[in-house]
Chain A
């Protein structure tokens, strides 16, 4: 759990852990069922600002608390834990299901598919709770989709902050753009090591 150290927690110590928001490709973040298009971008901010609710926040449409947030990263990241700050009066999300490295998920897909991991959330208005991931499954995340199916009884779901803790690798997940299938092999494409002159493998 965050901030349960013995010493008094200086904000900047913790906030450096929650710096994965810098690796989010904000321009491509989208959400489904948001009341104000584009408001989803406001929930990704520095850890210190997580309780700052003066700006915009993400809210679902009236009468429908389901939310789906698609977050692509600029490079592959490893996610250790996720923190979500919801709204007051039962507008916090009660469940979270995540999908990794899939784009274009919509509500019917999200409801049908098996998520990589799911959590039952609690109301976390102070932002002190984090939900740990099964780290082995979150080793090379190029994009993550969060599905919040329901809230704590409120008419809408509000989210003020979403934070990711983990590390960023410098790699970019390569999507295979073109694949060439050969029916018969072309020898010039497949030079063996002997021909290229490398013979022995080097052990250092």
Chain B
């Protein structure tokens, strides 16, 4: 959410007619610019963005830094391709435009699209870079299009001269099937050094995959703000309800593992009800997140199936109250009892731990990117529970022997 004034320098030289980026280099560039403007204005409503062109008859400022997205998108219309790009002048004019921004509290940033060969030599670029650094202006460079000899080297030198504390970035986009904007979405140019724009970026990424407009819930907040608001509120409510239910489930599951299965199935029912309310965007996001974790959970399942725990379930019923309050205490108790028991292979320990749902829930909650309320996670947990249930029935006769 950093407060920033950005000037975007567009390359509209003759080299932009080339079609190696679909549909043409210029069009790909325009799409990327639109996306960047949206991202910047969304991440902080007081951010301003301005646009200038570097080629044509000369450097021309199309829009001075403004937070009005419509104005920026409108000025991208009807741009003409021609001439040669003047990088040095473009950056200097951008710096001047930023100097006269209305809100002096904004950080200054320039984003340059360098698609054609670069005329100034490395030394003058470095001087420009140092001047930018001196005035604490950050610079992002998008290197695409023509791959001149020395172009990459010059741009890297420029970045090294400007870079102050990793606030400036360079992205090389080779020609290929991926659109320029798609490649840029995952770069720090969009994500703003790791914070802020990532929400927008994630939504845009999901949209690009799903092929719908890049807004949360698939509804343009500008077109229908009430619907978007209602969807967001219902998502929040559902999330809160699931969290409360999951907490209850975790407690009860460690006490009575039989009851837990029924509960999770009822939760699944309620979730399918509300799943229709939540849209594909949110589900896509969550599914993407849990794909990796599903693999891990499957592995854990396999391990628990290989090594049936003998003493584990009895210990659970003994320590149910403790486990409900403090899963780590339960773990410690488990480990100490397991050590004294004969069954002490490390694999068995891990499988017992993994079979303990409360412990797994707490671990999952601490994993970044895993939502314990995710339906797929819940199903896996429920199936693991049923595993431990069958183990309990099998091992009840062994239990009295090893109970301490």
Interface set of A (CB-CB < 8 Å, partner B): 32-33, 37, 61, 64, 66, 103-104, 106-108
Contacts and interface: CB of A to CB of B under 8 A. Distances in A.
A32 to B, nearest CB: 6
Nearest to A36: B165
B164 interface: yes
Chain A binding site: helix, strand, loop or mixed by DSSP?
loop
B92 to A, nearest CB: 11
A106 B133 CA distance: 12
B169 interface: no
B104 A104 contact: yes
A64 B131 CA distance: 10
Interface string B19-33: 000000000000000
Interface in B114-151: 130, 133-136
A61 B165 contact: no
Nearest to B103: A104
14 contacts: A32-B134, A32-B135, A32-B136, A33-B134, A61-B130, A64-B130, A64-B134, A66-B134, A104-B104, A106-B99, A106-B135, A107-B134, A107-B135, A108-B99
A32 B131 CA distance: 11
Interface in B156-205: 164-165
A37 B136 CA distance: 10
Nearest to B101: A104
A104 B136 CA distance: 12
B134 A37 contact: no
Contacts, number: 22
Contacts of B136: 32, 37
Smallest CB-CB A-B distances: 10 pairs: A104-B104, A33-B134, A106-B135, A103-B104, A37-B165, A32-B136, A32-B135, A107-B135, A106-B99, A107-B134
A32 B164 CA distance: 12
A108 B134 CA distance: 11
Interface of B: 99, 104, 130, 133-136, 164-165
Contacts of B135: 32-33, 106-107
Contacts of A107: 134-135
A102 to B, nearest CB: 10
A32 B137 CA distance: 10
Contacts of A103: 104
Nearest to B165: A37
A37 B164 CA distance: 8
A150 to B, nearest CB: 14
Contacts of B134: 32-33, 61, 64, 66, 107
A39 to B, nearest CB: 12
B77 to A, nearest CB: 33
Contacts of A106: 99, 135
Contacts of A37: 136, 164-165
B133 to A, nearest CB: 7
Contacts of B164: 37
Nearest to B131: A107
A197 B133 CA distance: 62
Contacts of A61: 130, 133-134
Contacts of B133: 33, 61
Contacts of A32: 134-136
A65 to B, nearest CB: 11
A61 B162 CA distance: 12
Contacts of A66: 134
Nearest to B135: A106
A66 B133 CA distance: 13
A40 to B, nearest CB: 12
A151 B134 CA distance: 16
A74 B393 CA distance: 72
Nearest to A106: B135
A32 B99 CA distance: 13
A64 B130 CA distance: 10
A61 B134 CA distance: 8
Nearest to B167: A37
Nearest to A28: B105
Contacts of A33: 133-135
B162 to A, nearest CB: 12
Interface hub of B104, B130, B134, B164 (most chain A Cβ within 10 A): B134
A129 B140 CA distance: 44
Contacts of B165: 37
B5 to A, nearest CB: 12
A106 B101 CA distance: 13
B240 to A, nearest CB: 35
